[in-house]
Amino acid sequence: MFKLPLQDGHNRLVSYVRISVTDRCNLRCSYCSAPSFSSNYREQILSYEEIVRLVRVLVNLGVDKVRLTGGEPLVRRHIDSLITRLNDIVGINDISLTTNGVLLEKLADPLRDAGLRRINISLDTLDRKRFKEITGRDYFTRVRAGIEAALAVGFDPVKVNVVVMRGVNDDELLDFAALTLNSPLHIRFIEYMPIGVSSTWSGDKVVTGAQMLARISENLGKLEPVVAESGGPARLYHLPGASGRIGVITAMSNHFCATCNRIRITADGRLRPCLLSDDEFDLKKVLRADGDPLEIVELVRQAVAGKSSEHGMSCNAERKCTRLMSTIGG
């Protein structure tokens, strides 16, 4: 039972866990937004000890890849110490982190020293005024400095995630794509998903990956597919002569559920087999009961066994996830 790999009911093996280390965030993005704080917050979220214990169990089930996310993972104190501890677990081959970059300029070095090798930074606009409108904070220059710091310390690759929203930032598609001409950045355009602040999402705000690629090709030159490199869920391309990469993540128009190998752990310790489904399993309760690791194994297996074959959302979807992205971890 313990050593058998984690396989779901659709013959997919789970080898990748995304862990939200906090649902707090130092930005207030209009479409994502962090929840308000509660007084017993530290009790509610998994401790680093609990996260490490959980990952040790998952490694025994075949998980070899961890991504830390949030909320904003860099607002949690001593996040580098968690990375060091995860890095020490035999069987973990890849640790990555998704951040808004606000605190990255200072933390890039300690994160690299702790064993982090690659990083994703979210940035939806290249315009300072618009950044403030979208995020509620005037931190654009900090994020740009964070991206520079990430490149300077040698994270490879440095991926920039852009959620493309029609009428909000889709006029910047070409400016973002052009960044790849002279820098090794991977610019990844993400289709806007019906998750989070549901009042801001509507199907007509989704720009599909195909539409993005057509616009870039028409204006900046023919995009060449990059097949030899794995872009995770992103399909990768490059512009002629460019050092960077352009990726599209088409969760809405052309989902990649058939190859999904991941599970998510929310900051409050719930296992979510699928980002876009509200099914959750309470791991925190089992972890805190301090029982047999087999109980954790059993719950994880039960969760994975029931992982749905596809998320079932589309641009015409009525169904939306009720959880905020900041509480699940993007």
Measured from the CB atom, is 25 or 63 closer to ligand SAM?
A: 25
Beta strands in 47-135 (DSSP E): 65-69, 94-99, 118-122
SS3 state of residue 226: coil
Q: How far is the CB of 20 from ligand SAM (least distance, A)?
A: 8
Which has the closest alpha carbon to 77: 21, 140, 20, 4? 21
Which has the closest alpha carbon to 175: 223, 126, 212, 138? 126
Interface residue with ligand SAM, options 16, 176, 189, 192 (CB under 6 A): 192
Chain residue whose CB lies nearest ligand SAM: 330
Site string for ligand SAM, 296-325 (x = CB under 6 A): -----------------------------x
Is residue 314 classed exposed, middle or buried when 0-12, 13-18 and 19+ CB atoms within 10 A define those classes? middle
Q: Are 17 and 57 in contact (CB under 8 A)?
A: no
Q: How far is the CB of 291 from ligand SAM (least distance, A)?
A: 31
* 169 touches ligand SAM by CB under 6 A: no
Q: How far is the CB of 114 from ligand SAM (least distance, A)?
A: 18
* Interface stretch with ligand SAM, choices 55-63, 65-73, 287-295, 308-316 (CB under 6 A): 65-73
* 22 touches ligand SAM by CB under 6 A: no
Q: How far is the CB of 113 from ligand SAM (least distance, A)?
A: 21
Q: Are 223 and 238 in contact (CB under 8 A)?
A: yes
* 100 touches ligand SAM by CB under 6 A: yes
CA distance 159 to 50: 29
Interface residue with ligand SAM, options 83, 149, 160, 193 (CB under 6 A): 193
Measured from the CB atom, is 25 or 45 closer to ligand SAM?
A: 25
Q: What part of residues 116-145 is at the interface with ligand SAM (CB under 6 A)?
A: 122
* 58 touches ligand SAM by CB under 6 A: no
* 25 touches ligand SAM by CB under 6 A: yes
* 330 touches ligand SAM by CB under 6 A: yes
CA distance 272 to 105: 31
Query: For 118-130, b where at least 16 C-beta lie within 10 A, e where not — what string?
Result: bbbbbbbbbeeeb
Which has the closest alpha carbon to 188: 167, 157, 219, 166? 157
Maximum C-alpha span of the chain: 59
Measured from the CB atom, is 180 or 326 closer to ligand SAM?
A: 326
Residues that bind ligand SAM (CB under 6 A): 25, 31-32, 69-70, 72, 98-100, 122, 161, 163, 190, 192-193, 195-196, 325-326, 330
